[in-house]
Amino acid sequence: MAKIETHGLRKTVGVGGLFSAAYGNVGSSIYYALGLVAVHALGLTPVVFMAAGLLFAITAKSYSEGAAMFPEAGGASSFARHAFNESVSFFAGWALTLDYILTIALSAFSVPHYLGAFFPPLLHNPWDIIGGLVVIALLAVLNIRGLGESSKVNVTLACVDLATQIVLVIIGVFLVLNPSRLVNQVHLGTAPSVSQLIFALSIAMLAYTGIETISNMAEEATDPGKQVPRAVNLVVLAVLVVYFGMSVVALSALPVVEHSVYVHGHFQHHFVTQLGTKYQDDPVLGIVQSFGLHGLLRIGLKDYVGLLASTILFVATNAGVIGISRLSWSLSEHRQLPGLFARLHSRYRTPWFTIVFFSVLAGLLLIPGQTSFLGNLYSFGAMLSFTTAHVAVIALRVKEPDLPRPYRIPGNVMIRGKAIPVMAVFGAIGTFAAWCAVVALHPEARAIGIPWMVIGVGGYFFYRRRQGLDPFKQYRVQRHQRPAFFVELEYRSAIVPIFGTDVDANALRTAAKLVGEDAMVEAIYVLRVPSQLSLDAGLDEEEQLGLRVLETAKLRGRQAGLKVQTRLIRTRNPGAAIVEEAERRQAEIIYLGTAHAPVSERALGPTASYLLAHRPCRVVIETPPAES
């Protein structure tokens, strides 16, 4: 039997990709978080965002250390698995699923509000609810069919979004900034009151959740130990600058004013800002419309922000669907959720049940039609996950002090010979205190959050006992053994990608005509992993097909007198994987025959286009004759 080589995962994400993915999630929340916080924080909204941002910055350091140590999907759940046991890991993961559900619901509900710049009925119930449900349903269908993510689109949108937000701050500074107005609208103890301030702080963490994205994508980073911390630092810096600048400009454009209401024979006075009332669901549009611009300039800026925000929020909703798919796959793979959550669609090979199940839950939470309801609940799961991450990082310092740590949180205190990270300690105390505030002040957290955790954890123990598994021990779904032999070649000439239906290796035999008799040909089977799954997801059926095809390719190549090397690569971007392999092998030619490729690749599809745009050597593409 021919010897087949497979080794490693294709890691292609750099600092830019990690930053754009995280900022796409964290930065998108400004489009609804600004209004939710301003309702309670009033004139102290910028201060509240900075206080919450400090806690976020500390939390980001713990995620940097954890993700650099364990570059795998799961985030806090993964850290807890290594630090404690499977039950604690599931606890963190289940709390995180609630966050993803709410990310989907919040982002989807905000999309129609920003599209309201073009279609005003979308600004109000029931059309905003219907619009949000349509967004969720559409993305569920597209993700089942394998929509995935485009790293280029994400990077571009993240850069455009960040640039736009900075430009809006600059415009606001010149047009509406009024320092004396900012100071005079604060009446500490009254507007806001102490209880309002605490309430606002508990909501403000909503603005900074999304750091799990970097942790989930760390498995795809080329150098997690260096790239993850750099990306985290960039996200923290960008988000702090944008939130502070936008909130300062917002309160200059839409200041806090005293509002009087005549009730039961006397006037009641309270303070409000239109940022948290009229524009609570679309605060950035409110800011733009309050700049004092006129004519086409005002209309153009409003339409641009409405279009950009709705696009960013649509992408954020999709990221939530993909994030919860990867997380549930990870939990199912470790037998923390039933295997149904990892079941793949027979045609599209995506986790259809997970996508449908959690999309339906997100849709149900969206039905009340209140951004405040979703925002108040959001911090519940986030604070639990953050607290678990901090505690896990501290515990690993004690239990596994010699474990390789490509990145270490700075500022440590030696206790009994162990380096304890002070930031993580303060972070754990701060996030747990914030969670307590959420539970105490938010009825939604008590009504939905606590039952969610009780039902989830109870279901986990029931499932483990039903399967005869110890709830505290780690188990993993068994996969077929993968051969993993690797032989360095002294001469490399051709790269030949082989598609799944090319069982007779016709592409290899055609490529043999293009190389010399002493040439070495590398036949590559590129296994495309859907974005909804972790890169190391099982896909046993597809992988075994790839190995059989490669085995046939090696035999056919020998019959044609070729020296053939074979390799199976798992990737999300086939074109990038082929280019990187050609550069690594210093290949002189890439031959791509698309006769047996998927329908989308038969002509000049995405893979062929990528090869032509990034060709590291000569590229020959043979497409099948057009059907008459």
Same-domain status, 532 and 616: yes
Tally of domains in the chain = 2
Q: CA-CA distance, 5 to 627, in Å (whole number)? A: 36
Answer yes or no: are the C-beta atoms of 585 and 490 closer than 8 Å. no
Same-domain status, 336 and 393: yes
φ, ψ for residue 272, nearest 5 deg: -145, 160
Structure confidence at residue 576 (pLDDT): 83
Same-domain status, 461 and 498: no
Structure confidence at residue 245 (pLDDT): 92
Condensed to tens digits (0 to 9), the pLDDT of residues 90-115 reads 999 999 899 889 889 999 999 999 99
Residue 150 lies in a domain: yes
Q: CA distances (Å), 256 to each of 191, 199, 362, in order? A: 9, 18, 33
Higher pLDDT, 265 or 128: 128
Of 466, 484, 515, the residue that ends a domain is 466
Q: Mean pLDDT throughout 175-200?
A: 85
Same-domain status, 454 and 528: no
Residue 8 lies in a domain: no
Residue 4 lies in a domain: no
Same-domain status, 119 and 168: yes
Same-domain status, 412 and 337: yes
Same-domain status, 453 and 556: no
Structure confidence at residue 479 (pLDDT): 42
Same-domain status, 462 and 499: no
Instruction: Give the E-state strand segments of 54-124 in sequence order.
Output: none
Handedness of CA 161, 166, 168, 171 (dihedral sign): negative
Residue 487 lies in a domain: no
Q: What region does 595 belong to: left with phi over 0, alpha with psi -120 to 50, or beta?
A: alpha
63-67, 86-90, 496-500, 586-590: range with lowest mean pLDDT: 496-500
Structure confidence at residue 202 (pLDDT): 78
Q: Mean pLDDT throughout 78-82?
A: 89
Confidence of residue 201 (pLDDT cuts 50, 70, 90): confident
- What is the extent of the structural domain holding 434? 15-258+272-466
3-class DSSP state for residue 89? helix
Distance from chain centroid for Cα 564? 39
Same-domain status, 435 and 515: no
Structure confidence at residue 220 (pLDDT): 64
Does residue 568 register a pLDDT over 60? Answer: yes
3-class DSSP state for residue 191? strand
Residue 474 lies in a domain: no
Answer yes or no: are the C-beta atoms of 319 and 151 closer than 8 Å. no
Answer yes or no: are the C-beta atoms of 308 and 159 closer than 8 Å. no
Does residue 393 register a pLDDT over 50? Answer: yes
Residue 488 lies in a domain: no
Residue 576 lies in a domain: yes
Q: Mean pLDDT throughout 399-404?
A: 86
DSSP 332-370: HHTTSS-GGGGPPPTTT-S-HHHHHHHHHHHHHHHTT--
Does residue 483 register a pLDDT over 50? Answer: no
First to last CA, the chain: 41
Q: CA-CA distance, 6 to 550, in Å (whole number)? A: 10
And the tokens for 6? 């497979």
Structure confidence at residue 128 (pLDDT): 92
**DSSP, res 501:** T
Structure confidence at residue 248 (pLDDT): 93
User: Partners of 268 in the beta sheet?
Assistant: 261
Whole-number percent of the chain with pLDDT over 90: 24
Answer yes or no: are the C-beta atoms of 474 and 81 closer than 8 Å. yes
Does residue 627 register a pLDDT over 70? Answer: no
Structure confidence at residue 509 (pLDDT): 67
Same-domain status, 412 and 522: no
Q: What region does 8 belong to: left with phi over 0, alpha with psi -120 to 50, or beta?
A: left
Q: In this structure, what CATH number is given to the domain that contains residue 536?
A: 3.40.50.620
The closest alpha carbon to 328, from 338, 314, 315, belongs to: 338
Whole-number percent of the chain with pLDDT over 70: 83
Condensed to tens digits (0 to 9), the pLDDT of residues 420-479 reads 999 999 999 999 988 898 888 888 888 899 999 999 999 999 999 998 999 988 877 654
Confidence of residue 191 (pLDDT cuts 50, 70, 90): confident
Residue 127 lies in a domain: yes
Q: Mean pLDDT throughout 286-300?
A: 89
Distance from chain centroid for Cα 212? 7
Answer yes or no: are the C-beta atoms of 283 and 31 closer than 8 Å. yes
Q: CA-CA distance, 129 to 134, in Å (whole number)? A: 9
Structure confidence at residue 267 (pLDDT): 57
113-122, 135-144, 345-354: range with lowest mean pLDDT: 345-354
Q: CA-CA distance, 248 to 324, in Å (whole number)? A: 34
Q: Mean pLDDT throughout 343-370?
A: 88
Q: In this structure, what CATH number is given to the domain that contains residue 337?
A: 1.20.1740.10
And the tokens for 134? 């349509």
Residue with tokens 């922000």: 305
DSSP 106-131: HHHHHHHHHHTTT-GGGGSTTHHHHH
Same-domain status, 500 and 456: no
Confidence of residue 406 (pLDDT cuts 50, 70, 90): confident
Q: CA-CA distance, 211 to 213, in Å (whole number)? A: 5
φ, ψ for residue 524, nearest 5 deg: -115, 130
Of 450, 466, 482, the residue that ends a domain is 466
Structure confidence at residue 440 (pLDDT): 87
Does residue 268 register a pLDDT over 80? Answer: no
Q: Mean pLDDT throughout 122-126?
A: 89
Answer yes or no: are the C-beta atoms of 324 and 354 closer than 8 Å. yes
Structure confidence at residue 5 (pLDDT): 40
Neighbours of 554 (CB within 10 A): 22
Higher pLDDT, 330 or 266: 330
User: Partners of 563 in the beta sheet?
Assistant: 520
Structure confidence at residue 378 (pLDDT): 80
Does residue 4 register a pLDDT over 60? Answer: no
Structure confidence at residue 239 (pLDDT): 85
Give me the half-sphere count of Cα atoms (radius 13 Å) on the Cβ side of residue 450: 11
Mean of the per-residue pLDDT values for the chain? 81
Same-domain status, 41 and 183: yes
DSSP 205-238: GGGG--THHHHHHGGGBSSHHHHHHHHHHHHHHH
Structure confidence at residue 169 (pLDDT): 93
